[in-house]
Structure 1
Amino acid sequence: MADTAEKKQNPIIETIKTVVYALIIAGIFRTFFFQPFWIPSGSMKDTLLIGDFLFVNKMAYGYSYASCPTILIPQLGIDVDAEDFCGVFKGSNERLFGSEPKRGDVVVFRHPVNGRDFIKRLVGLPGDRIQMKDGVLHINDEPVYLQDTDPFIETFEPQGPQGLTPRCANGSVGMGGECIKNAQIETLPNGVSYRVLDIQNQLVDNTPVFTVRPGHFFFMGDNRDNSSDSRFPQAAQGVGQVPLEDIVGRADRIMFSSAGRSILFFWTWRSDRYFKKIE
Structure 2
Amino acid sequence: MTQPADKPIAKKSATNEWVETFIVVVEALLIAIFLRFFFYQPFSIPTASMQQTLMIGDYFVANKFVWGYGKHSFSLGRYGDFALLDFELPISNRIFGREPNRGDVAVFRPVPQDQEYIKRVVGLPGDRIQVTAGRLYINGTMVEREEVGKALDTDSNGDTREVTVYRETFPEGTTHIIQEIGDDLQLDNTPEYVVPAGHYFMMGDNRDRSADSRVLSQVGYVPAVNLIAKAEARFFSIKDNIAPWQIWQWPANVRWDRMFQGVSSDQPYGGTAAP
Same fold (TM over 0.5): yes
1:90–1:245 contact (8 Å) kept in structure 2: no
Q: How many residues align?
A: 252
User: Distance in 1 between the 2:262 and 2:82 partners?
Assistant: 32
Q: 2:170 aligns with which of 182, 188, 196?
A: 188
Alignment correspondent of 2:193: 210
Q: 1:79 aligns with which of 76, 79, 83?
A: 83
How many Å apart are 1:91 and its aligned residue?
A: 3.4
2:108–2:228 contact (8 Å) kept in structure 1: yes
1:270 counterpart = 2:263: no
User: Distance in 2 between the 1:141 and 1:90 partners?
Assistant: 37
How many Å apart are 1:5 and its aligned residue?
A: 9.8
1:166 counterpart = 2:159: yes
2:37–2:76 contact (8 Å) kept in structure 1: no
Alignment correspondent of 2:36: 30
User: Distance in 1 between the 2:63 and 2:91 partners?
Assistant: 22
Once the two structures are overlaid, the 10-residue window that deviates more, 209-218 or 30-39, is: 30-39
User: Distance in 2 between the 1:41 and 1:10 partners?
Assistant: 49
User: Distance in 1 between the 2:111 and 2:18 partners?
Assistant: 43
How many Å apart are 1:213 and its aligned residue?
A: 0.6
CA offset digits 1:215-269 (Å, max 9, x no partner): 10000000001011100013xxx11111111111111221121114222332221
Can you give the 5+ residue segments of structure 2 that lack an aligned partner in the other structure? Answer: 1-7, 266-275
User: Distance in 2 between the 1:210 and 1:24 partners?
Assistant: 44
1:122–1:220 contact (8 Å) kept in structure 2: yes
Query: Which 4+ runs in 1 deviate beyond 3 A?
Result: 2-20
1:39 counterpart = 2:23: no
Q: TM-score, normalised by structure 2?
A: 0.82
Give the secondary structure class of the aligned counterpart of 1:203. Answer: coil
Identity of aligned residues (%): 37
Once the two structures are superposed, the pairs formed by residues 128-139 of structure 1 within 5 Å of their partners are: 128-139=127-138
Larger Rg: 2
1:120 counterpart = 2:102: no
2:234–2:259 contact (8 Å) kept in structure 1: yes
How many Å apart are 1:35 and its aligned residue?
A: 0.4
Can you give the 5+ residue segments of structure 1 that lack an aligned partner in the other structure? Answer: 169-179
How many Å apart are 1:22 and its aligned residue?
A: 3.2
1:56 counterpart = 2:62: yes
User: Distance in 2 between the 1:130 and 1:227 partners?
Assistant: 16
Distance 1:94 1:262, change over 3 A: closer
Alignment correspondent of 1:175: none
Letter of the structure 1 residue corresponding to residue 177 of structure 2: R
Alignment correspondent of 1:152: 151
Letter of the structure 2 residue corresponding to residue 116 of structure 1: Q
How many Å apart are 1:144 and its aligned residue?
A: 0.2
Distance 1:199 1:246, change over 3 A: same
Once the two structures are superposed, the pairs formed by residues 228-247 of structure 1 within 5 Å of their partners are: 228-234=211-217, 238-247=218-227
1:148–1:184 contact (8 Å) kept in structure 2: yes
Letter of the structure 2 residue corresponding to residue 129 of structure 1: R
Once the two structures are overlaid, the 10-residue window that deviates more, 215-224 or 26-35, is: 26-35
User: Distance in 2 between the 1:82 and 1:119 partners?
Assistant: 17
